[in-house]
Structure 1
Amino acid sequence: MREWFTVPELAELMLPDMPKTERGIHDMAIRQNWRGGSLCRKRERRGGGLEFHMSLLPHRAQVKLAAITSVDTAREESRERRKALYWTHWDAMTDDQRQICHARLHVIRTVDEAFALNRAIGRVETVEETLARELEPFGVSFSTYYDWRKALHDVDSEDWLPALAPKYFATGEVRGPKADIHPDAWAALKSDFLRPEKPGFSACYRRVEAAAKKHGWGRLPSERALRRRMDSEVDKVVQAYAREGAKKAEALYPPQVRTKDHLHAMELVNTDGHQIDLFVKVPWKPLKPVRLILLGIQDIFSGKILSWRLSEAETWDVVRACIGDMIEDFGIPKHFYMDNGRAFASQAISGGAKHRNRFRKAKVNRFSIDEEEVGGILKNFGVDPHFTRPYAGQSKPIERAWKDLAEEISKHPAMSGAYTGNKPDAKPENYRKRAIPLDVLQAHVAERIAEHNARTGRKSDTAKGRSFDQTFEESMAHPATIVTRATAAQRDFWLLAEKIVQVRKNRGEVHYLNNIYWSADLTAWCGKKVKIRFDPDKLHEPVKVYAPNGKLICEAACTQKGRFNDVEAANIHNRNRKAFLKLQKARADLHRVLSADQLADVYSAGEPAEPKQKKPVRSAVTRAFTGNLAVKAQSDVFSDDEFEAGLADALSSLSGDGSIIPFPTGNRPGGIASGRNRRTEK
């Protein structure tokens, strides 16, 4: 509600208990000192002046003013809502519907101009005659014209164009009114249609139609009407999310456009692996061809592939070697973008990174660094690692490069017959006709990547028609580009991997990958954790042992070599060993036809479940035993020594007091010494 008014506005309203002229209101304001308080302010509109708050007016004037302003405010708000609604409908119209509005407005304007002209020249004609003459060229009847004029009642002239929209569009529905359906039936139809199984709309309609007869939901509208309502009420994105998953709905969201003009070469690099769609013959599997992974590192500013490696699996030692090639050839980057794969997020590569969430202990906060975690290659060189979402082309531009190289490498005429297809249902006719030798593939990949970097006509914002090589070289030659080069001493950081191990308690040995390393200096570290640095390709050479604080302890020599002297061979051996054990287990299971329970049933067949216990045989008269219960029953046969000892004892008792029989002192009845003791003395 409006609360501030000028003197001319108050005079025009003719309020009770107020002067009716501007001069009178000015005098009233001077007498009551309206300008002396906070209820007076400068007018912000054009022309300036002063405005006064309505609380300065008499009570009856305030009541009348509040009633007037509330009605005007409601009318103005209604007018603004209708104006917004008209032009909202106009934006939702098609071009054909807008043409209809223009044609109707042209008829209205033509007739109005004719009436105005007749009044100007003084001609007196009836309305019917004028309408008949003016509407005849347009083919519009009297009733249609009156309907159009009725639609323009209480509508501002600037809003006539959208107000003349067809009636079927008056509610804002482009496709007409909604189909009338029972709420439960409509809920069932939407729930059935918006399922991950992606059922057809016709099948859903038939099921809901049968359910409507059972539950008394009434007659359903036609299938086409409900399909139109489904498309009108449920957005395409919602249908895609419910029926095809989040990835399909995410594809409908526009990607972020990232600029690279503010960067320079070797400031940001990114890495990823790509499985080559070729059958390759490798030395470690001569009878079965394999598919290799191409691991590469790309400069984000220029798009050049800086280094690459081929391997059967995406492991940390391959990533280490690829990073080493880049550092040795071009220098140390500032930022390194990669996904959170097992190889990139390993301790050897990104150990010590703040957001490295793989291979952490359960008790360690995921936003903190494990104190026992070794520093990886990137952190040791001061490179800041960044982990991105897998298959995110905006954050890893190398995935766009893999798309080009997949066409150039796998589908090249030199690789004909070895192409596997990029998915199971896209196998070529010459599938598995040939396998490419590993050395041939390495030369082919090197040639294709060199051509990829040297190809001109690149349309990126930084290349501008040049090649990736030219863009990279120009940026590297610019005085503002500062790239750190690795020293000879720093080469150990990418040539040597780091691992935390525990020294054995017995002789101070260090065990790693089937190898044993020992030095006399390690005896003081028995049972403690140390860091070792080693070359994964030369595990039989001495390793450097460091204390937890980084101080060098010694170089421990390899006293017992493993079966292989590099990590790749050790991994291959472990896989073959597991496959061998799995085969032996399967063979043993074939021979063990019966399980342990079945074998027990075979052996116990025909025997009673519990054997019967025989009752003990007892004599008719029972006599209590008065001797020593701990004395073991002895044989009736005495030795010569026992006989002589017994005879001497009897004679001694007869020569003494015969009425007193002494208690036996030995462990045999009637003897003072044990025969076992005598035998022991002998």
Structure 2
Amino acid sequence: MATIAEALGIDRSAVVKRAKSEHWLHTTERTQGGRRHLYPIGALPTDVRAKVEIAAAKLALAAIATPAPANDDPVTEAAAASADSATAWAWFDRQPDSTKAEARRKAEALDAIATLVGQGLGLTAARDSVAAAIGDSPRTLIRWGKRVTGVPRADWLPALADQYAGGTRTAACTPAAWEAFKADYLRQEQPTAASCYGRLARAAKAEGWTIPSLKTLERRIEAEVPQAVRTLLRQGPEALKRSYPHQTRDRSVFTAMQAVNADGHKFDVFAKWPDGTVARPVMVAFQDLYSGKILSWRIGRSECQEAVRLTIRDMVATFGIPEQCWLDNGRNFASKWITGGTANRYRFKVKDDEPAGALTLLGVQVHWTTPYWGQAKPIERAFRDLCDTVAKHPACAGAWTGNNPMAKPENYGSKAIPIADFIAMANQEIAHHNARPGRRAATAAGRSLDETFAESYATSVVRRATEEQLRQMLLAGEGLRLDGKSGELKLWGNRYWTEALSNHAGRKVVVRFDPENLAAPVPVYTLDGRYIATAERREAAGFDNVADGKSFNRARGDYLRATRQAADAQVRLDALDPVARVTELQPATPPKPGVTRLHTPPRRGKAATTTEPTAAPTADTVTDLLTAGLARLRSA
């Protein structure tokens, strides 16, 4: 009755009065001092029974665990208890599930004892009953109760978990032998533990070392040398870098054509070129970062800066100018003709007078990635697909080389696919790659790369390149001389002409062209870089093709007619009248010589002599000569 009175917080007489008025079921027991009433807890009213059970549980916990001594400073006591609780739970979280399950079983047993005591059963009887139910002795439950003495109920599990220290005995091993085994095993040649142990055994016999078994040394390596250290020492820094979790980059922050990335890929296929050379073709490709679509690509013999430049032109001409571009810091992508003038282009020296590259002139922000690090360039994932769909295409049967020297097929080198056929097949497979549905990227959400790109591209703000900018990105051929009569340009067996070239006939010019599309018109410049005109290609006509002949005659007639009209506009026939009129002039009277001398022939048999006068003859000299001449005539 005292327990019910304490649980209700009222006087004992009030409890008796209420019990009589409500006719509580009870039994009477004689005591030394008189009698007492015993009330079954299940027959009590609901509100009374709840309070009694709470009070009984508190008494049971007090009997199981003796409270710890109180601390004089309650703040310090709370902080210490919180720190101890965190440490205990951190240790408990590192234990195996079997240890955690055993702790929960012990806590449930102590809770069952408290519940039975709360229902009116004695502590000893409750402990015996629970011990019999779980198969442990009552003394074991007493030990468990002592473990949680002064411990809050929320922290019982760490307190009840078994803390096994484990065995501390280790096999004997000479320290020098252990160091020798580590130095031999932790090498980048990656020897096996068995071979290292064999060498260690021979050295131990010579040195008198004590060594344990191979398994013991392997377990000690795993226990004392962290996995990251083993990776670094046996496989090198690159392997350690790959073991670090990759960074997931969210490409949904971009829109279509806002950012692109590029790289080169050499296909594992033998291709035959028009000159008979057999080599593996190389592709340079640009990919949209938002959608993953391959925007432009060129296939050639090498990853040269010309291929990179033309691939950029294809992308810009078709889709526009991107804002940012991620490039591999390779020699061709970092060429001055591609990224010249970029402030962070560290492969070559950046000079003040360095020519601006193609991307720099377009205002594209260039970012550099680590070479041979596929995680930095999503286009590497696309290349992996193309290794299967392109390099292993049925058209390449017999031409596939294998992706490493150890993976050569049995028919290695039995065939070389013509490069024109390979390019046509690769173009088709890349188109299928972009159109394949069911993409699992976050931006695609089951759509194809083409659909993902088109949806975002329709709402994107994209800069467009001018015709002048596109012309500057073509390849330049310098020093080509125009035909001396017509001004016609000849380039790799093709003839190009336009009327504006007639004014530069016979001169050297600069022509910009696409070597893979020589049928397209070519821009022509002077040697000092001034634009002249764009010349169309003139195709050869069949000898008996009347239609082509008529078309040529018609074009030539138009040209001649237009030239005559231009000539008439430039020259007027009446403009010659002033200069055509001739003024009549009188013939001039010939002047008389100052001195006349007769010619004297030389005598026969004697050589003629010529005497140069030293001075002009005088009148006396002439008279003397005449007299002498007359005298010779008379004597003759």
**TM interval, short-chain normalised:** 0.5 to 0.7
105-114 vs 200-209, which deviates more? 200-209
Map of 2:163 onto structure 1: 167
**Kindly tell me: are residues 326 and 437 of structure 1, through their superposed partners in 2, closer, same or farther at Cα, counting changes over 3 Å?**
same
Q: Distance in 2 between matches of 1:218 and 1:142?
A: 50
1:472 is the counterpart of 2:463 = no
1:359 is the counterpart of 2:355 = no
Equivalent positions of 1:259-278 (< 5 A) are 259-278=250-269
Amino acid at match of 2:162: P
Map of 1:256 onto structure 2: 247
Asked if the contact 1:201–1:227 (Cα under 8 Å) also holds between the matched residues in 2, the reply is yes
Equivalent positions of 1:503-582 (< 5 A) are 535=512
Map of 2:387 onto structure 1: 406
- 2:390 alignment partner, SS class: helix
Equivalent positions of 1:223-234 (< 5 A) are 224=215, 227-234=218-225
Instruction: Report the CA distance between 1:162 and its aligned residue.
Output: 1.8
Instruction: Report the CA distance between 1:490 and its aligned residue.
Output: 1.9
Q: Distance in 1 between matches of 2:526 and 2:144?
A: 94
Asked if the contact 2:513–2:523 (Cα under 8 Å) also holds between the matched residues in 1, the reply is no
Asked if the contact 1:292–1:312 (Cα under 8 Å) also holds between the matched residues in 2, the reply is yes
Asked if the contact 2:471–2:523 (Cα under 8 Å) also holds between the matched residues in 1, the reply is no
Q: Distance in 2 between matches of 1:191 and 1:449?
A: 51
139-148 vs 419-428, which deviates more? 139-148
Instruction: Report the CA distance between 1:264 and its aligned residue.
Output: 2.1
- 2:455 alignment partner, SS class: helix
Match of 2:190 among 198, 201, 215: 198
**Kindly tell me: are residues 114 and 202 of structure 1, through their superposed partners in 2, closer, same or farther at Cα, counting changes over 3 Å?**
farther
**Kindly tell me: are residues 160 and 254 of structure 1, through their superposed partners in 2, closer, same or farther at Cα, counting changes over 3 Å?**
same
Asked if the contact 2:174–2:211 (Cα under 8 Å) also holds between the matched residues in 1, the reply is no
Equivalent positions of 1:258-657 (< 5 A) are 258-284=249-275, 286=276, 289-360=278-349, 369-478=350-459, 481-496=460-475, 535=512
Instruction: Report the CA distance between 1:429 and its aligned residue.
Output: 2.2
Asked if the contact 2:324–2:364 (Cα under 8 Å) also holds between the matched residues in 1, the reply is yes
Match of 1:237 among 224, 228, 240: 228
Give the share of equivalent positions with the same residue, in percent. 38
Amino acid at match of 1:160: W
Ranges in structure 2 where 5+ consecutive residues have no aligned partner:
1-69, 479-508, 516-521, 533-636
Q: Distance in 2 between matches of 1:339 and 1:141?
A: 73
Instruction: Report the CA distance between 1:136 and its aligned residue.
Output: 2.6
Instruction: Report the CA distance between 1:349 and its aligned residue.
Output: 0.8
Instruction: Report the CA distance between 1:89 and its aligned residue.
Output: 2.0
Asked if the contact 1:380–1:493 (Cα under 8 Å) also holds between the matched residues in 2, the reply is no
Amino acid at match of 2:87: L
76-85 vs 307-316, which deviates more? 76-85
Map of 2:237 onto structure 1: 246
Amino acid at match of 1:255: H
String of CA shifts for 1:561-613, please: whole Å, max 9, x gaps. xxxxxxxxxxxxxxxxxxxxxxxxxxxxxxxxxxxxxxxxxxxxxxxxxxxxx
Asked if the contact 2:337–2:357 (Cα under 8 Å) also holds between the matched residues in 1, the reply is yes
Map of 2:25 onto structure 1: none
Match of 1:155 among 151, 158, 175: 151
Q: Distance in 1 between matches of 2:72 and 2:406?
A: 72
Instruction: Report the CA distance between 1:132 and its aligned residue.
Output: 4.7
Amino acid at match of 2:386: L
Amino acid at match of 1:493: Q
**Kindly tell me: are residues 251 and 70 of structure 1, through their superposed partners in 2, closer, same or farther at Cα, counting changes over 3 Å?**
farther
String of CA shifts for 1:409-434, please: whole Å, max 9, x gaps. 01112221111111111122222221
String of CA shifts for 1:539-558, please: whole Å, max 9, x gaps. x9987566xxxxx6999xxx
Q: Distance in 2 between matches of 1:224 and 1:163?
A: 36
**Kindly tell me: are residues 482 and 167 of structure 1, through their superposed partners in 2, closer, same or farther at Cα, counting changes over 3 Å?**
closer
Equivalent positions of 1:80-91 (< 5 A) are 80-91=82-93
Q: Distance in 1 between matches of 2:153 and 2:464?
A: 75
Equivalent positions of 1:166-185 (< 5 A) are 166-168=162-164, 179=170, 184=175
Q: Distance in 1 between matches of 2:324 and 2:453?
A: 17
Instruction: Report the CA distance between 1:219 and its aligned residue.
Output: 6.8
- 1:425 alignment partner, SS class: helix
Instruction: Report the CA distance between 1:113 and its aligned residue.
Output: 4.2
Map of 2:108 onto structure 1: 106
**Kindly tell me: are residues 330 and 134 of structure 1, through their superposed partners in 2, closer, same or farther at Cα, counting changes over 3 Å?**
closer
Instruction: Report the CA distance between 1:373 and its aligned residue.
Output: 1.3
Q: Distance in 1 between matches of 2:80 and 2:167?
A: 25
Instruction: Report the CA distance between 1:69 and its aligned residue.
Output: 7.9
**Kindly tell me: are residues 378 and 183 of structure 1, through their superposed partners in 2, closer, same or farther at Cα, counting changes over 3 Å?**
farther
Q: Distance in 2 between matches of 1:375 and 1:91?
A: 61
Asked if the contact 2:510–2:524 (Cα under 8 Å) also holds between the matched residues in 1, the reply is no
String of CA shifts for 1:417-466, please: whole Å, max 9, x gaps. 11111111112222222110111111111111111122222222222222
- 2:189 alignment partner, SS class: coil
Q: Distance in 1 between matches of 2:445 and 2:391?
A: 28
String of CA shifts for 1:242-267, please: whole Å, max 9, x gaps. 32223333333332222233322222
Q: Distance in 1 between matches of 2:179 and 2:470?
A: 67
Asked if the contact 1:458–1:466 (Cα under 8 Å) also holds between the matched residues in 2, the reply is yes
Map of 1:663 onto structure 2: none
Asked if the contact 1:295–1:309 (Cα under 8 Å) also holds between the matched residues in 2, the reply is yes
**Kindly tell me: are residues 112 and 201 of structure 1, through their superposed partners in 2, closer, same or farther at Cα, counting changes over 3 Å?**
farther
Asked if the contact 2:260–2:324 (Cα under 8 Å) also holds between the matched residues in 1, the reply is yes
Asked if the contact 1:327–1:485 (Cα under 8 Å) also holds between the matched residues in 2, the reply is yes
Asked if the contact 1:391–1:399 (Cα under 8 Å) also holds between the matched residues in 2, the reply is no
String of CA shifts for 1:267-288, please: whole Å, max 9, x gaps. 211111111111111123x2x5
Q: Distance in 1 between matches of 2:132 and 2:222?
A: 42
Q: Distance in 2 between matches of 1:192 and 1:156?
A: 53
Asked if the contact 2:188–2:236 (Cα under 8 Å) also holds between the matched residues in 1, the reply is yes
Q: Distance in 1 between matches of 2:173 and 2:196?
A: 15
Q: Distance in 2 between matches of 1:131 and 1:206?
A: 61
Map of 1:136 onto structure 2: 132
Q: Distance in 2 between matches of 1:483 and 1:112?
A: 75
Asked if the contact 1:419–1:431 (Cα under 8 Å) also holds between the matched residues in 2, the reply is yes
Asked if the contact 2:477–2:512 (Cα under 8 Å) also holds between the matched residues in 1, the reply is no
**Kindly tell me: are residues 246 and 150 of structure 1, through their superposed partners in 2, closer, same or farther at Cα, counting changes over 3 Å?**
farther
How many positions carry a matched residue from both structures?
426
Q: Distance in 2 between matches of 1:110 and 1:210?
A: 64
Instruction: Report the CA distance between 1:399 and its aligned residue.
Output: 1.0
Q: Distance in 2 between matches of 1:163 and 1:329?
A: 71
Instruction: Report the CA distance between 1:290 and its aligned residue.
Output: 1.1
Asked if the contact 2:185–2:196 (Cα under 8 Å) also holds between the matched residues in 1, the reply is yes
Q: Distance in 1 between matches of 2:78 and 2:203?
A: 50
Asked if the contact 1:339–1:389 (Cα under 8 Å) also holds between the matched residues in 2, the reply is yes
**Kindly tell me: are residues 426 and 554 of structure 1, through their superposed partners in 2, closer, same or farther at Cα, counting changes over 3 Å?**
closer
Q: Distance in 2 between matches of 1:108 and 1:414?
A: 77
**Kindly tell me: are residues 289 and 419 of structure 1, through their superposed partners in 2, closer, same or farther at Cα, counting changes over 3 Å?**
same
Asked if the contact 1:179–1:226 (Cα under 8 Å) also holds between the matched residues in 2, the reply is no
Q: Distance in 2 between matches of 1:69 and 1:321?
A: 82
- 2:311 alignment partner, SS class: helix
String of CA shifts for 1:220-248, please: whole Å, max 9, x gaps. 5x655554454345443333233222333
Instruction: Report the CA distance between 1:313 and its aligned residue.
Output: 1.3
String of CA shifts for 1:645-669, please: whole Å, max 9, x gaps. xxxxxxxxxxxxxxxxxxxxxxxxx
Q: Distance in 1 between matches of 2:91 and 2:188?
A: 35
**Kindly tell me: are residues 554 and 455 of structure 1, through their superposed partners in 2, closer, same or farther at Cα, counting changes over 3 Å?**
closer
**Kindly tell me: are residues 79 and 234 of structure 1, through their superposed partners in 2, closer, same or farther at Cα, counting changes over 3 Å?**
farther
Map of 1:671 onto structure 2: none
